[in-house]
Structure 1
Amino acid sequence: MLRSLRGRLVLLLLLLVVAAAATAMLMIGLFHQSAAARVGQAAAENSRACEAIVTAYRQYASGGDRSQLAGDDTDVRKRLVTLVQSALQNRPGVQGGIWQRDVGSVAFAFPTYDGPAARLEPPGGELPRIRDINVSALNAERPASGRYDARSQTLLIAACPLPGPIPHLTAWTMTWTFMFAGRSYLQLMAGQAVLLVTVLLAAALLIHLTMTWSRHVSQIESALNAYDVADLPVLPPTRERELDRIVLALNDAGRRLSAARQRGDELARQMATAERLAAIGRVAAGVAHEIRNPIAAMRLKAESAVAGGPERQPQALQVILGEIERLDTLVRRLLSITEHDTPKREQVEVRSFLQACVAQHVERAAARGVTLACAADAQLARFDPDQLKRALDNLILNALNAAPADSRIEVVAIGRPEALVLSVRDQGAGPPHDIADHLFEPFVTGRPDGTGLGLSIVREVAEAHGGAVRYVITEKGTSFEITLPWLTS
């Protein structure tokens, strides 16, 4: 995956999402820390407000009023309300009052309340909590506080015992701290919004880049696959700077490859022409050489017959007829090379066919002291028996001329999975090295009396059957092999 551009872009997108998530979690964590600090600061401020009421009450009590608080003592209640207002007037968001056991709230004030009407009584919904805190402070005879967390806000209540002539009094204060309000919350929301927009834009850009590059790469790949490698197309620009550099390089390579191919084709045509002319030259030289000798012999005999009179004419005519037969054989061999007759395939029993081919050369082999043998592990095959017999005859004649006395020539047929292999093996030294590369061309021979057409006939017969011919030099001698693809039906 990481080896492709698409995989790397996807990985980059995942890393971006992970980094954004980690940043968002960090921002939320910092916000919660800030909120906790605000709650702590509000709790401290609330406790100080309670102490302020205590201080104001002490001043009030030291003024010499020793009367007990009665239920209808409106004047005392008013003075206590004034006391609480004075203590809380510079403490925004803090409300409080004075509480007495068995009586309840005897004074309440919320001087910083910005509502349409002033609050004169403690909030009814929080009275149970206010009572519990005050009772706790009275029982412990020391300040008490309570914290009540809601989903989006925190309620802070503090209570302080009030020493003085009026028994069982406590001062209490209360404030709310909102989690999702204030500057920190706005900063959090702004940061999260910026982070979200950044991640979405980066994701959209990466997705667009991935899809664009993938589409361009697929188009380039399709265009290249639609043409042969030797004829590359001209690719259109993609408007992507990096990809266009590759496209320009491919187009330039295609132009250079096309020019090189044209030069190669021209050179190939020139080489083919040169080889054809060279082959024609070799054939013409061979034909001229082979024809010149019989013609020279016939001319010599004809001149001798004319000069010698009737007595020498019969002998001269015999020689001339022999040379004409030699020319006729040469012409027939040339025709067998150039006519390219289509093989007339038929079902042939391989062992009997080899025995018939060998039988025609047994007497000549015996005269040279050479043993002829044949073997076949294949039963039936389809080929032209006349053409293949002519090819084997040439190989056997060559083997007889090359094999030393008291040696052995083997004609063998071997059936392989893909083809039938016919081989003629002798114990001779093989053809000269200087003609090895042109051994199967016309008029190439290593013998002074040879025409150089026998092996070229063998090659034509093998290729006409869809096969090939080759020779192999081994430690035991030379082997010429004709390979014929299987045709059994």
Structure 2
Amino acid sequence: MRWPLIYQVTLPLAFWTLLTVFALSMFNLWYAQVETGEEVEARLAAITKQVAEVRFPLSLPVLQQIQGLTGTELIVTDDQGILIRGTTPVTSAELPELLREPGVGSVDLSQVIEFDGENYFHSATQSRFSGSDMVTVHLLYPKANYDRRVAQSFWPLMLLGLLAVAPMLVVASILAARITRPITRLQKQVGQIAEGVFIELPPGKTNDELNDLAHAINRMSHQLESYEVKVRTMERAQVLGQIGAGFSHQIRNAMTGGQMAIGLHRLDCNIPDCESLQVAERQMKMVEHMVQSMLRLGRKQDIERAAINVWQLIETTVAMVRPQASHHSLPIQEKITLAPEASLSGDFVLLQTCLMNLLLNGIEATLAAQAAGSEERKNGTEIGELAIEAAPHPDGKSITIRVCDEGMGPPASVADQLFEPLVTTKKEGTGLGLPVVREIVELHGGTIKWYRVDDKTCFQITLPRSESK
């Protein structure tokens, strides 16, 4: 059975409030009964004493005056039990009941008799008229007066308590609603997080425990989102590893056959220094290293380090890419502001693969921009250029290599995920090039980032210099 929080707050509070009001009212009732009873007993005792000591005739006017002052009815009988006079009529049938009550000279509220449909507390005393015989004076105090006094003490507190319950419930409901509304929002947020929608709620207006809980849930949502990204990245890397392991053997066999065919062609043609054959061999070796770099993706394997001259690295990489760029009439600008002996420590082929990947991506991006601006090309305006730059890093301990193209840049939908596996917007793309680049850079202890500047897309790599001997 569902037991809403608002009921858990208001109903017990109402119950205990009513119970407290009832207990206080009952205590007040008991106290009022005791206090009023003592007051009535004291009043009857005082009247009894005065009547017993009176020495003037207890005529009817005297009795009526005493009745008006004290609110007590008085009935006088002689020693034979014969009614003499009284302030209230007494029938012959009621007189024996009056005479049967004992306790002459004492006051006892337990003695209650009924006359003419009304209940009275009864007390009796003896008095003597001046010069007459002893008579008995019966004092009858109306029980209704006693009950009215008790009720006046009991009901105001009881009603006040009952009236206080209603506004108390309203206030409790408002306070409970202020608690349950944020809890309901947090419940919806947690439900969405459980469904994989990692949203964050704005903080509450009050600095309380619920606000702390909202901050904690927002932190949990952010951490779960980052964990999910990491898990998906690891899953993609595992898939790539499985795919690479499956195809690497076949690709290597094909590459071995291609290299043998090139070698045999070199021998048959007797042209050992043919530039085209040298380019083909370098391309075959590059493909082989690309396969190896793909197998490294997600495995964090160590690399064989050697001193690498930065000038040589860039020039040989550009030389391998330039034929493809020249085919599309796309110039490649080189700008190296390093000393000729500037060097890095790492795997030459892996770094060459890294830079070659960025340059090839730049060619594709620039060609796509040229296709989008075909009208300008018809007018003879060249709108594309590729540049690779190398310069010392401001910290003096690293070297920065930057590849910039005049493409349109990545779409906003994938801008934050460029280096994640299988993320691509190309129709025939695999989404593996940039993840491989990042993997290679990180293996060499460097960092990579991208940004747009002056309508250009730039990828900047920062690598530590090799330690001088």
With normalisation by structure 1, the TM-score equals: 0.40
Instruction: Return the structure number with greater relative CO, CA threshold 8 A, min gap 6.
Output: 2
With normalisation by structure 2, the TM-score equals: 0.41
Structure whose alpha-carbon radius of gyration is higher: 1
